[in-house]
Amino acid sequence: VVVLLSLLGLAAAGKLLVVPVDGSHWLSMRQALDGLRQRGHEIVVVAPEVTLHIKPSKNLVMKMYPVPFTQEEMDEDFQGFTKDLFEGGSFLERVIRLYQRSKKTSALFLATCTHLLHNRELLGYLEESKFDAILTDPILPCGQILAEYLSVPSVYFLQQIPCGLEYQATQCPNPPSYVPRVFTDHTDRMTFLQRVRNMLYDIPNFFLCDAVFQPYAKLASEFLGRDVTVPDLLSQASIWLMKIDFVLHYPKPLMPNMVLVSGVNCASKKLSQ
């Protein structure tokens, strides 16, 4: 009886810190947070004052912090990114366009992360709160930098990370022989020449990742007081909740701490014709 009673503490609700990424990333995460809240977990969301979709909610504790840009600047950047992403053109044109847009968007998000990590009042509150875990979207590593600083385990909620960093961080196999790369329009069944092309298309990713993630590595190294890389940071995650399945996505290798959560990102409403 004593042993059974002692196990009740393991089922108690926890205290969760959430460091989200704005846009559609937040819309799907919010549904998961609603489920966690209904199960009795205490949830605190840290977000910038200027956002697209992350707004104060009576169901969640929101801790907002100032950032050095306006709502108009953020709206313009996101609209431009969407336009660039879906605009046609040759492979080279799309890579150059995405590279230029990624640098601009990354600078905006980097400024957001920098102001969070240098907000001493907010950091003091987070330290005193003694969270059990951090839930974040690793497409931007700011949440993981905070997890390292607070020494709490992290849970990732994502679909994928640019340049396949989820494979590098988890040491998960990512063979170009049957895992299609971005912009190739290949399936998971390729001829030999398509596999060669698939491998060549992966080369620009190194340049894109350097532009987007290298500033975060520098910021993390300065903030944590030790040299770190972004893959080093991401490798510290306890669980990767992957918003994919093998119905709408091609089969590919996974690691034991990668959990497929599939349709959690789908809205619970009837679609029109």
pLDDT at 263 over 80: no
CA atoms within 13 A on the CB side of 75: 3
Strand partners, 155: 135, 239
pLDDT at 269: 60
Q: Is the pTM of this model over 0.85?
A: no
Separation of alpha carbons 40 and 166, rounded Å: 31
Supply φ then ψ for residue 109, to 5 degrees: -70, -35
* 234 phi/psi in degrees, rounded to 5: -65, -25
User: Which has the higher per-residue pLDDT, 174 or 218?
Assistant: 218
pLDDT at residue 87 above 80? no
CA distance 255 to 124: 35
Sheet of 15-19: strand order equals 61-65, 42-48, 15-19, 133-136, 154-158, 239-242, 258-260
Percent of the chain with pLDDT over 90: 43
The DSSP H or E segment spanning 48 is strand 42-48
- For 199-255, how does the pLDDT look when each residue is reduced to its tens digit (9 = 90+)? 887 777 777 777 778 899 999 999 999 999 999 999 999 999 998 887 777 778 899
pLDDT band at 115 (very low <50, low <70, confident <90, very high): very high
Instruction: Determine the average pLDDT of the residues in 256-268.
Output: 75
To the nearest whole percent, how much of the chain has pLDDT over 70?
Answer: 89
**What rounded mean pLDDT belongs to the chain?**
84
- For the segment(s) 13-260, the CATH number from 3.30.70.1520, 3.40.50.970, 3.40.50.2000, 3.40.30.10 is 3.40.50.2000
Question: Among 251, 106, 258, which residue's Cα sits nearest to residue 178?
Answer: 251
Question: Per residue in 139-161, pLDDT tens?
Answer: 989 999 999 999 999 999 998 88
The pLDDT of residue 10 is: 54
CB-neighbour burial class of residue 113 (10 A; exposed 0-12, middle 13-18, buried 19+): buried
> pLDDT at position 268, please?
55
Least confident span in 61-75, 100-114, 218-232: 100-114
> Over 90: is that where the pLDDT of 114 sits?
yes
